Structure 1
Amino acid sequence: MEWIKLIGILIILVGFILKFDTIAVVIIAALSTALVSGLSLTEFFTIFGEAFVKNRLVTIFLLTLPMIGISERFGLRQQAIILIERIKGLTVGRFITLYAVIRQIAGLFGIRISAHPQFVRPIVNPMAQAAAKAKFGEISAEDEDKIKARAAANENFANFFGQNTFVASSGVLLIVGTLDSLGYDVSSSAISRTALIIAVITLIVIAIYNHLFDLKLARKYTNKGGQ
């Protein structure tokens, strides 16, 4: 009857298929597995609590979500838009490129910016949208979606290619440890210098990529205004 210990997997499958509450399904599956395996409730909650404490840093990001929601509720998005509208000559592409530069500089010094949910959605995307509307007036819903996607994409580009420029980042330490285990003598500073070259190349590509988007918007809305 050892197969009965796999009941937790069955509970998770059924729960997900029926779209029950995810956390409740996982806890019930864990509890069921513990009981059929001969653990008492006390032992189960002890293991559960110890696992939560050891991995509590993973759930810290949940604290930022209510904070961002409250900030948006009390005008964070509106203030970001007002700020951008006051800056003359700032285009969507220039603004997003500027954000990519800031993102990579932050990575160089090991400063973590909380990416899409906590930064791009409430701040970067609204400011990029405001830059477009300040220059061209109302834009189409399709172009709004393109700007939104571009803001998210530039976050990915800058973060992915810039995170290993910090000499003590987890990625650099992983690379050094892996190469060292294979017999290659490398230093973390050497890895960071190589990553810095890639980061600079990435910024150049990003700048061109965003400039072409500016030209595309200018052609579209200038022609439309001329008609």
Structure 2
Amino acid sequence: MHYVPLLGILVVVAGFALRLNPMLVVTASAFVTGLLAGMGPVEVIKTFGKAFNDNRIIAIVWIVLPVIGMLERYGLQQRARAVILGFRRATAGRLLVLYLLYRQFTAAIGLHSTAGHPQTVRPLVAPMALAAAEKQHGALDEDTEEEVKAMAAATDNVGLFFGEDIFFAIGSIVLIQATLATYRIELTPLQLAVWAIPTAIAAFLIHGLRLLLLDRRLGAKR
């Protein structure tokens, strides 16, 4: 009887095989699993509600996306490009170095959601980097454009990944602390955060150098 609730997996398989709406399929599977586990319909719905409430912070991104889409429809990327074109000495590498510094600093003080791929890189940072590159080096071919976009996305990743560990009240610090504790190495979250600072500085210097070398590569392709 303990394996009966696993029949809900068949609902997922059948739903995907029939190419039904994935959200409806997963919801139906969860509902079936709950009923087979002996839960009543009301209890299943209450469980859904509790899970959504406990993880409501994850749903915030779905509120941001329509706003970003509307802003792009009304010319957000074009305005971002126009702003960069007004700066005479702006280059793709220098712009991304500044963004890397901003991303690391805000992540280090716990402001992880102030930037990111959907809300910052795609609508703002990548178009501005492309505009700076085109201003300095002329029209770019498709491969070069994709390289600049990739570096913009990588800059966000590096800044967040190596900056957030400086903020001691974050899940990754707790995970590191718990892992070290299994080897009888007792460290406080603050100690771990302090020792993340040299790594963050090294990441900034290494990736910053990569960004400056990007400018040199773009110049060589001109």
TM-score by length of 2: 0.90
SS of residue matched to 1:139: coil
Q: Once the 2 structures are TM-superposed, how far is the Cα of residue 181 of structure 1 from its aligned partner?
A: 5.4
State the one-letter code of the partner of 1:121.
Answer: R
1:189-216 CA-to-partner distances (Å, cap 9, x unmatched) read: 3222221101111111112111221111
Corresponding letter in the other structure for 1:131: A
Q: Counterpart amino acid of 1:21?
A: N
Q: More deviation in 27-36 or 205-214? A: 27-36
Indicate the residue corresponding to 2:176 in structure 1. Answer: 175
Distance in 2, Cα, partners of 1:207 & 1:3: 53
Aligned residue in 1 for 2:19: 19
How far apart are residue 100 of structure 1 and its match? 0.6
Name the CA distance, whole Å, in 2 between partners of 1:182 and 1:171. 17
Q: Counterpart of 1:29?
A: 29
State the alpha-carbon separation in 2 of the partners of residues 36 and 167 from structure 1.
42
Corresponding letter in the other structure for 1:111: L
SS of equivalent residue, structure 2 residue 196:
helix
Give the equivalent residue in structure 2 for 1:51.
51
Preserved contact between residue 166 and residue 193 of structure 2 (Cα < 8 Å)? yes
2:14 maps to amino acid: V
Matched with 1:63 is 63
Distance 1:43 1:188, change over 3 A: closer
The residue that corresponds to 1:133 in the other structure is 134
TM-score, structure 1 normalization: 0.89
In structure 1, how many angstroms separate the alpha carbons of the residues matched to 2:83 and 2:129?
11
- Superposed displacement of residue 117, structure 1: 1.2
Per the alignment, residue 145 of structure 1 pairs with: 146
Aligned to 1:102: 102
Q: Report the Cα offset of residue 180 of structure 1.
A: 4.2
Alpha-carbon displacement from aligned partner over 1:101-148 (angstroms, at most 9, x marks no partner): 111111222211341111111111111111111112211111111111
Structure 1 residue 2 displacement after superposition: 5.5
What percent identity do the matched residue pairs reach? 35
Per the alignment, residue 225 of structure 1 pairs with none
1:43 Cα deviation (Å)?
2.3
1:37 Cα deviation from its structure 2 partner: 3.4
Structure 2 distance, partners of 1:192, 1:181, is 19
Distance in 2, matches of 1:4 and 1:168, equals 40
Give the structure 1 partner of residue 76 of structure 2: 76
- For residues 185 and 32 of structure 1, what CA distance do their matches in structure 2 show? 45
Q: For residues 66-122 of structure 1, what are the alpha-carbon distances to aligned partners after superposition, in whole Å with 9 as ceiling and x for unaligned? A: 111122122221221111111111111111111111111112222113411111111
For 2:31, give the aligned amino acid: L
Other-structure match for 1:121: 122
Change (3 A) 1:183 1:4: closer
Task: Specify whether residues 98 and 43 from structure 1 end up closer, same or farther in structure 2 by C-alpha distance, changes over 3 A only.
Answer: same
Q: Which runs of 5+ in 2 are unaligned?
A: none
Q: CA–CA distance in 1 between the matches of 2:30 and 2:186?
A: 44
Give the C-alpha shift of residue 3 in structure 1: 4.4
User: Residue 185 of structure 1 aligns to a residue in which SS?
Assistant: coil
Q: Which structure 1 residue ranges, 5 or more long, are not aligned?
A: 222-227
Moved more, 174-183 or 48-57: 174-183
C-alpha distance in 1, partners of 2:95/2:3?
Answer: 57
